[in-house]
Amino acid sequence: MAYNFKEVMSRPERLVPGHRMCAGCGATIALRNVLKAIKPEDKAVIANATGCMEVSTFTYPYSAWTDSYIHNAFENAAATAGGVEAAYNALKKRGKIDETYKFLAVGGDGGTYDIGFQSLSGAMERNHDMVYVCYDNEAYMNTGIQRSSATPMFADTTTTPNGTVSDGKKQNRKDMTEVIAAHRVPYVAQTTLMGNFKDLIEKSEKAIYTKGACFLNILAPCPRGWRYDAENIMDICKAAADTCFWPMYEVENGEKWTLSYEPKKKLPIEDFLKLQGRFRHLLQPGKEEQVAAFQAEVDRRWEVLLKKCSL
């Protein structure tokens, strides 16, 4: 696939300014760059599950989206995108549509890992020619920072508060990228906001222009839920990758696993935790055991991934 990064970055915006997303929001940056991967001559339909992106970018009659946009309930964005893709194929077969359309379903981790999982799994199994994009900010940020199954162990949320009898969430986060890879769909990728977004945009283009069902899981920090200053978002994403908390890789047809970023020096998990208020309690004296447990889980998952990518 020929790739001209300079040309891609000069394309017109498909998610335009004027929305109500927070300063320092990872979801907005992620979606802007995903949409950059769509060729200018192609059109798109966006099915957006209820969540931060929906309530802040589409307030009738105003929209920050230049493409066709459908607001969905939490649970059915993937089903809607699959249905529209099927209708498009039928109309194109009858000669009623000539343009090329791309179909994207968008959801946060709550609408992807939890409430919308049934819809997502079904769309992936049916292999609709669409891309599901998860902006993973690791909690239900839109409704009050409640924990989701994407929330990391020991994170402080409003439903798993840190206190005298609790260290935050007790369970490890679900690995949704591996779950979707197990569906053996054509393309699955995990990425985040790093550098000049080249990895994010390249994976987005590959997903959008790969025939069949594809899935992008993008770590997208939330300044309110993670409690960081807006200007620190890129440092947090870099630390997530360099500590191997959020590995960057891709899976083709459920078989070919490829690591797309390996840090020159794997950093300790404290380098990721210390940048966020939600983990502040873990850095206090007496929490060494909890930090060690967090590190052990990160190490375990990283070693498993390395083995898969070496096969």
pLDDT category of residue 2 using cuts at 50, 70 and 90: low
Q: What is the pLDDT of residue 139?
A: 98
Angle (nearest 5°) at CA 242 between 138 and 235: 65
Separation CA 307–CA 311 (nearest Å): 7
Mean pLDDT on 201-206: 97
Q: What is the pLDDT of residue 175?
A: 98
pLDDT at residue 1 tops 70: no
Closest CA to 28 of 68, 66, 62, 57: 57
**Which alpha helices (H) appear in the chain, and where do they start and end?**
5-9, 26-36, 52-57, 77-93, 109, 117-126, 176-181, 198-208, 223-226, 233-242, 270-273, 288-310
Structure tokens at 167: 């260290």
Separation CA 179–CA 190 (nearest Å): 12
Domain-wise residue ranges, the chain: 5-310
Structure tokens at 70: 């459908």
Separation CA 105–CA 112 (nearest Å): 10
pLDDT in tens, 31-58: 999 999 999 999 999 999 999 999 999 9
H or E, element range at 249:
strand 248-252
Structure tokens at 297: 């889980």
- CB distance 134 to 110 below 8 Å: no
Structure tokens at 282: 């873990």
Helix (H, G, I), strand (E, B) or coil at 258: strand
Q: What is the pLDDT of residue 281?
A: 97
pLDDT in tens, 126-167: 999 999 999 999 999 999 999 999 999 999 999 999 999 999
Q: Provide the pairing of β-strand 248-252 with 187-192.
A: antiparallel
pLDDT in tens, 267-293: 999 999 999 999 999 999 999 999 999
CATH number of 5-310: 3.40.50.970
pLDDT at residue 3 tops 90: no
Phi, psi of 110 (to 5 degrees): -65, -45
- CB distance 20 to 56 below 8 Å: yes
The residue type of 139 is A
Q: What is the pLDDT of residue 5?
A: 86
